[in-house]
Structures are given as C-alpha cells and as structure tokens.
Amino acid sequence: MPESKHFPQVRQLQGGVLVPFNVQQQTRTDEDGEQTTFYRFGQVKLEQRNLPALSQVQHTAWRELQRALHDHIYPRYDQGSQSTIQAYAQRAERQGRSDIVAECEKIMDWIDACLMYYYAKKDAIYAATTEGELVGIAWDFGADVPFPDDVLPLKNIKGMFA
C-alpha cells in the first residue's frame, strides 16, 4: 500500500487520475522516540484526463470495497461452498442433527457479519458528500470481521454425517 505524509486526494497524474481509497491513519515511532503520523491507502488509476465527479469516485471506492469483501470470504468459502453449507444445514435440520446445524450456522453467521460490515461501508461511501469524506472511509475486514477460531472446516462438517 502506498504511504503519504499528507492525507491523499484524488489527483491528475501522467495522463490519468489517481483515486485513493481505504485511507488509514498510522503512527510510526522512530529510533529517537518521536512519533510521525502518515497515511496508508490503496489507489486506482482511472484512464481519463479530467478529474472525476464525486459519483465516479464513489463507484471506484465501492468496487474496491467489493473486491476486499470477496478477498476476505472467498478463499475460505466461495459461492459453491456457501451453497454446500446451506445444504448441509438443511439436511442436518431434517435429520435432527442440531450439532451440525450449529456448525453451519457459525460459518453463515460469520459471512452475514462480513456482509453487514460491507453494506455499512458501502452506505457510507454513497452517503459521502465530499471527496475528503469519501476518501477517509476506511475498512479492514481481517481486523473488523475476523474469522472465528472455533469454526470447523467444511470437510469436518461433512464427516459429522457419518
């Protein structure tokens, strides 16, 4: 992630426009014990000459938020795995296996928490009325919606039916 001593802004650069997103203020302490504030952020280059309208910057930030959501959930549970979990929960429900239902619900609850976090950030992105407000909307799925420690792998849940 790029860093800057100053709060990043949308800017024109080399035939395009750089749009910062997910700006996070950080503090670094040097060897003399002095603290320095800086900003870490992602950025997207738009292939256009003019500065974009706020709505275009919002759309760009939303696409990056969406990418972050997928990067957080899909390595563990892609769409097919999520469908399988739902099918296991329904099957377990029919068989009266509340232990399996509970394991499936842990996973679905985590996915729901990720989606609630995503929609709150998406709403904030589209509610922003200035570039500074929009660029300052930060997200960190890993820190804010961590994967629970007590969740069984899908393979183990399948094995519970045996």
Check residue 14 and give its pLDDT.
82
- Distances in Å between the Cα of 137 and the Cα atoms of 20, 34, 37, 43, 59 are 10, 27, 18, 13, 13
Q: Is residue 42 part of a domain?
A: no
Q: Is the pLDDT of residue 21 over 90?
A: yes
Q: Is residue 33 part of a domain?
A: no
Q: What is the pTM of this model?
A: 0.87
Segments forming the whole domain that contains residue 135: 49-159
Report the run of H or E that residue 149 belongs to, with start and end.
none
Q: Is residue 28 part of a domain?
A: no
Q: Is residue 25 part of a domain?
A: no
Tokens of residue 60, six digits: 């760009």
Q: Give the span between the Cα atoms of 150 and 109, in whole angstroms.
A: 13
Q: Is residue 69 part of a domain?
A: yes
Q: Is residue 153 part of a domain?
A: yes
Q: Give the span between the Cα atoms of 37 and 30, in whole angstroms.
A: 11
Check residue 15 and give its pLDDT.
82
Q: Is residue 132 part of a domain?
A: yes
Q: Is residue 56 part of a domain?
A: yes
What percentage of the chain has pLDDT greater than the value 90? 91
Tell me how many domains the chain contains.
1
Average pLDDT, the chain: 94
Q: Give the span between the Cα atoms of 50 and 19, in whole angstroms.
A: 12
